[in-house]
Amino acid sequence: MQTVGAFQAKTFFSALLEQVEKGEQVVITKHGRPVARLIPVAGTDRERIKETIQRLKKLAQSHTLGGLDWKQLRDEGRK
């Protein structure tokens, strides 16, 4: 991920857009503080979905029902 200052981003905006179009992310800073991020439109959802799936898989491995049957729990909750 590339980081650029606001003045540089303004000056080289077209070049930054080309990088983002190729899949790069660019953080724009103002006085050294991050204020914006340029990210590709199409890549955002896929990347976010992959990250969420990985987190759910990790969560499922570390959490169990301790021998309880989920269908039985579901039906009991419906009473």
* Model pLDDT for residues 21-54, shown as the tens digit of each residue: 888 999 999 999 999 999 988 755 778 889 999 9
Q: Is residue 2 within 8 Å of residue 24, measured between CB atoms?
A: yes
In a domain, 40, yes or no: yes
In a domain, 73, yes or no: no
Tokens representing residue 13 in the block: 């905006």
CA–CA dist 7, 9 (Å, integer): 5
Q: What is the pLDDT of residue 43?
A: 57
CATH number of the domain encompassing residue 40: 3.40.1620.10
Domain total in the chain = 1
CA–CA dist 38, 28 (Å, integer): 8
In a domain, 61, yes or no: yes
In a domain, 7, yes or no: yes
